[in-house]
Every structure is written in structure tokens, then in C-alpha cells.
């Protein structure tokens, strides 16, 4: 159980864990299955298996809000079809492949408990939900990207804000919901106990409770229960007050633990970073940034270089929030932007503000357009974000990808290129030798590249099923 302080007494020592064939803690560092120190650097694939209105062009609304209001217009059958389409199209094998191509080595996978368990049918786990998790883990294995399984919304909700998809009876005031959370994690751990691609189980996203011993006790019980079926995987614990406050942790509950914080400007100021580094030092445990973002690219650059990648802070990697989001006017930088069709925009406005009124036909038209636009090939790349995070430059051009053969002519080229046998609905990226994306688009034949500096480049092509890359020389 987790140690917490009552009248100066520290309760329960840590359990012993010695399996090194999985990602695991080694003192203040994270090690892979080959027992080499690594940082976990990647991205969250948010609003796929756990929905937030803010990511879909709406306001501060929860998945339940979206579900209830949309169902009231189009009915349960059409809404369930919409849910299935989101699960099928928002994140696909192609997304994980591209994440790997960008040289990220981890995805954090936020999921709502209702992916696996309906509130009306507790303790009965849904085959459809397991199939989705099975698929994304297989994609991660195929492209060598670790996964962090993040319970973003526990039964009842671990906080009262929309990000926890809260219920009228929350997690903390319901023994049944606490037990459901414990048993769901047991089921997850039992199913995936031998999947080495899973870097960690992230037990609760951004919990918030005034009486912190309840959080400690729940963590204790989940960990103890997981360890009855899975002694392999690292467990991540987020602090109270939305992954900010770790003061209740005075010892480790288990020797394979990593503490996870989230780094948003509106949450806290810089002095908390030294406190978290001090926590890492005092408990000899790794710390990891599970979410972060900023309003501007300049703000991102500061956080990334001054804080997150500063060796003195001993942060063992980061996962940027988020991979995809709907474009609505001014918003924080994200990796990929989903174009916002008019009927979908009005749907989200109505769900959030009850205006403008939308008909069932308009909502269905919005759904149909949204599903098309969310697919990877139809998203708009924010090259500023990709180049800011730029993991490929760390290890050089050989990390981009093994080069495939494409019939591109002329090569070398002076102004433009053409590709023989070019297919429709492809995405093109031109990448320099440091891994930066310098151009992206869906049409490349006869594109004017005359202003490019002479030298070596890589052309990468996505067609939704595979990726091809070839070398180009500009002279």
C-alpha cells in the first residue's frame, strides 16, 4: 500500500519487483526490456476513446453531455453508429505508423471506463472495447511504439470537471464505483500482463479530492489487486489536484512506480518543477510528464527546452497533448488539425450552448463530414508543432525510415518533381536531414520547390495503408 503520514508514522513498505523484461523503473530512470535507460517521448491520442467537447470544436463539455444531447436529436441507434465510427476512424493503424515515423516512442491512450464497461451493467466487460484496445496495441507492436494505458474517466468520475466525465455520484463517494475501478484495472492487467509493448498503467487521470487519504487508499487497493495478476508492468501515479500535488507520497507502494505530472500554465507556476525533482530525488523514483501544451509555439519551445528536456529536472520524457483536434479559430497548437464542417460546428455549438438549433438531418450531415475529416489523410499538419517536437533530429536521418523505391523524376531536381503512378488521396511530406517537415500537402506533381536550398531531402508519402520514403537531391 502507499505510504502516507499520520502523526509522523509511515504506513506500509514497498513491495519487491525484479522483472526486467518489461519497461520498468530503475532508481530515478525508466529502462526498457533490454535494460537500457530510455526517455518516453511521444503524444496523447486524446478524444478517441474518451471524448472532450473542447477537442471537437465545442466547449467545456463532457462525453456524457455530448452523448445525451446528441442522442436527444438523432436517437440512440444513430448515435451508437456515430460512436462506432469515431472508434473506427479517429485513430487508425495509419496514425500509429505516422507517430512512429515522427520518431516518437510512446503514445498515451486516454480511455473512458465505458469503453469496457457500461454503467448499467457493471463488472461485465464489453468484447468490442477489448477488441479496440487489442488493435491499437498490435499497431504499437508493429511500429515499435510503447503504449501507456490511461484511465481518463473512472466510474463516477475522479474529479468534478468535464475532463473526468463525472456522474451524479462520483468515484469518491461510492464504494461501488471504487470497487468497479479496482476490478476493471484487474481485468485490464489480467488480459495484458504479458504485453511488453505496454510501458505503464496510468491508474487515474488528474484526480481531484479534498481528502487525499482516499486517493492514497484507492491507489493502494488498485496496485495490490493488479499485482495479483500482473507483476510485469510499471504503474504510473498522478498526484492530487489534477496531477499537481504529490505531497501525500512519502514512500513507494511498489518498486515499479513512476510519478506522472501534467504541465499546463493555468495549473501552476515554475516553482513546482523543483518540488517534483526533489520528489524524484527523495524517493529515488522517475517522474514523467503525461500531458503538456501551450498557447503559442514560443511557449511550447520554452517549456520543451527549458523545463521538459532540461537534464537537471530529471524528467524522463513527455507526451504532448494532443495528436488531433478540431480547428476552431484561435486555439492551442496541436499536431494535426481536423477541418470543422459547418453542420458539425453548429452541432457542437448546440451541444455546448443550446444554440443554434440543429435538426436531425443537419446533425447527421455534420457527423458524416466530421468522420471523413478526422481520418489521418484529411487532417492538416501543423508543421510548427512537428518541427518543435522533432524527435527524428535527435538520432539523425537514419531514424526517419528505411528508404523505399519510388519512381520520382527528375531526381536530382531543380524546380519540381513528378511521381509516376501517383494515387489519389495521398499525403506528402518533404523532410530535411534534421528530420524537420519543411513542406506538406496532398498534391505534389509540378509543385514549385525552386526556392529550396540545394541539398539532400526525404519525400515521405502516406496513402492510408502504407508509407513510402525516398531520397531527393535538389541542385
Kindly calculate the radius of gyration of the chain based on its CA atoms and give it in whole angstroms: 23
Q: CATH for 397-474?
A: 2.60.40
Measured CA to CA, the distance from residue 278 to residue 189 in angstroms comes to: 31
* Ranges of each domain in the chain: 8-385, 397-474
Is 15 in contact with 251 (CB distance < 8 Å)?
Answer: no
- For 332, the grid coordinates are 492551442
pLDDT (0 to 100) of residue 127: 98
Mean pLDDT, the chain cut into blocks of 10 residues (475 residues total): 32 43 96 95 98 95 98 98 99 96 96 98 98 98 97 98 93 98 99 98 97 97 99 98 94 97 73 88 98 89 92 97 87 87 97 96 98 96 87 50 64 86 76 83 87 86 77 86
Second CATH level (architecture) for the domain 8-385: Alpha-Beta Barrel (3.20)
Measured CA to CA, the distance from residue 406 to residue 398 in angstroms comes to: 18
pLDDT (0 to 100) of residue 459: 87
Alpha-carbon dihedral 435, 437, 442, 444, rounded to 10 degrees: -80
Is 325 in contact with 306 (CB distance < 8 Å)?
Answer: no
Is 347 in contact with 363 (CB distance < 8 Å)?
Answer: yes
Is 351 in contact with 65 (CB distance < 8 Å)?
Answer: yes
pLDDT (0 to 100) of residue 422: 64
pLDDT (0 to 100) of residue 16: 44
pLDDT (0 to 100) of residue 50: 98
pLDDT (0 to 100) of residue 421: 67
Amino acid at each position: 500500500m502507499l505510504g502516507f503520514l499520520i502523526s509522523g508514522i509511515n504506513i506500509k513498505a514497498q513491495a519487491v519487483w525484479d522483472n526486467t523484461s518489461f519497461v520498468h523503473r530503475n532508481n530515478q530512470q525508466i529502462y526498457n526490456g533490454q535494460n537500457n535507460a530510455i526517455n518516453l517521448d511521444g503524444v496523447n491520442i486524446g478524444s478517441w476513446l474518451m471524448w472532450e467537447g473542447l477537442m471537437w470544436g465545442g466547449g467545456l463539455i463532457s462525453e456524457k453531455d455530448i452523448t445525451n444531447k446528441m442522442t436527444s436529436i438523432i436517437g440512440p441507434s444513430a448515435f451508437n453508429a456515430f460512436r462506432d465510427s469515431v472508434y473506427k476512424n479517429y485513430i487508425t493503424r495509419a496514425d500509429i505508423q505516422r507517430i512512429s515515423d515522427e520518431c516518437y516512442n510512446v503514445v498515451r491512450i486516454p480511455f473512458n471506463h465505458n469503453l469496457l464497461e457500461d454503467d448499467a451493467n457493471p463488472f461485465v466487460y464489453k468484447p468490442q472495447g477489448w477488441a479496440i484496445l487489442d488493435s491499437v496495441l498490435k499497431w504499437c507492436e508493429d511500429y515499435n511504439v510503447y503504449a501507456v494505458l490511461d484511465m481518463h474517466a473512472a466510474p463516477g468520475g475522479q474529479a468534478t470537471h468535464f475532463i473526468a466525465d463525472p456522474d451524479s455520484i462520483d468515484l469518491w463517494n461510492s464504494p461501488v464505483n471504487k470497487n468497479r475501478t479496482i476490478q476493471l484495472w484487474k481485468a485490464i492487467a489480467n488480459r495484458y500482463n504479458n504485453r511488453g509493448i505496454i510501458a505503464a498503467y496510468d491508474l487515474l487521470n488528474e484526480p481531484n479530492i479534498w481528502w487525499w487519504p482516499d486517493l492514497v487508499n484507492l491507489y493502494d487497493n488498485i496496485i495490490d489487486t493488479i499485482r495479483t495478476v500482473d507483476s510485469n508492468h510499471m504503474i504510473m501515479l498522478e498526484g492530487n489536484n489534477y496531477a499537481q500535488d504529490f505531497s501525500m507520497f512519502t514512500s513507494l507502494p511498489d518498486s515499479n512506480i513512476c510519478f506522472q505530472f501534467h504541465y499546463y500554465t493555468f495549473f501552476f507556476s515554475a516553482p513546482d518543477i523543483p518540488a517534483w525533482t526533489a520528489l524524484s530525488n527523495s524517493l529515488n523514483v522517475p517522474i514523467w510528464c503525461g500531458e503538456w501544451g501551450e498557447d503559442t509555439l514560443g511557449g511550447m519551445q520554452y517549456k520543451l527546452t527549458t523545463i521538459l528536456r532540461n537534464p537537471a529536472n530529471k524528467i524522463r520524457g513527455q507526451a504532448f497533448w494532443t495528436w488531433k483536434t478540431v480547428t476552431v479559430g484561435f486555439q492551442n497548437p496541436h499536431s494535426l488539425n481536423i477541418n470543422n464542417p459547418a453542420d458539425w460546428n453548429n452541432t457542437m455549438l448546440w451541444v455546448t450552448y443550446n444554440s443554434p438549433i440543429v435538426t436531425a438531418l443537419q446533425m447527421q450531415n455534420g457527423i458524416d463530414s466530421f468522420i471523413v475529416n478526422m481520418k489521418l489523410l484529411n487532417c492538416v499538419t501543423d508543421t510548427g508543432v512537428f518541427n518543435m517536437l522533432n524527435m527524428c533530429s535527435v538520432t539523425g536521418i537514419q531514424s526517419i525510415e528505411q528508404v523505399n523505391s519510388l519512381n520520382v523524376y527528375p531526381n536530382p531536381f531543380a524546380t519540381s518533381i513528378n511521381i509516376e503512378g501517383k494515387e489519389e488521396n495521398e499525403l506528402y511530406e518533404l523532410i530535411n536531414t534534421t528530420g524537420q517537415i519543411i513542406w506538406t500537402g496532398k498534391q505534389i506533381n509540378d509543385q514549385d520547390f525552386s526556392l529550396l536550398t540545394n541539398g539532400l531531402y526525404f519525400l515521405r508519402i502516406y496513402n492510408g495503408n502504407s508509407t513510402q520514403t525516398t531520397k531527393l537531391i535538389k541542385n
